[in-house]
Amino acid sequence: MAIADLKNVLKIFGGADYSDDQQNELFKEVLLMTLARAADADINIQPAEIERIQEILQENTGESFSSADIRVAAREELYAEATLRKYLGSVRKKMTDENRAKTIQALADVFRSDSNIGVLEIDFFNGVANALQVTPAQIAGLVAGDV
């Protein structure tokens, strides 16, 4: 392995700034994983939730995801090594404030999509909000300078 390769590894894991491309890839991964798990948070994946997740992913990433992609990403077995909350806690410092806010707002949007928000969904939302360390203003979508 070349010294240049080690510098890239150290950059990624050493807390250095991510490039715009790296930020976009991280956001896409976090959004897919979080929203897919959200669909299964109440142990009952609703078609309306899947459709809304597809719309949100398309709006935020420009990419299309099939319902099968989302259902696979929702599978609990994928998180055997580390829970989603631990994963989010480990990547939150690498995410921009804007992407963390978009993630939590999209999560609320998914839960509202089937007109029935359950206790398990609220618990999941609170866990994600804590893991991402979003502020109440970010959750509400308040941004300084916006009217």
Q: What is the pLDDT of residue 71?
A: 83
Q: What is the pLDDT of residue 22?
A: 83
Rounded Cα–Cα distance for residues 26 and 91 (Å): 8
> In terms of Cα–Cα distance, which of 115, 45, 116, 103 is closest to 74?
45
- Flag whether pLDDT at 58 surpasses 80: yes
Domains by residue range for the chain, with CATH? 18-140 (1.10.3680.10)
Q: What is the pLDDT of residue 49?
A: 87
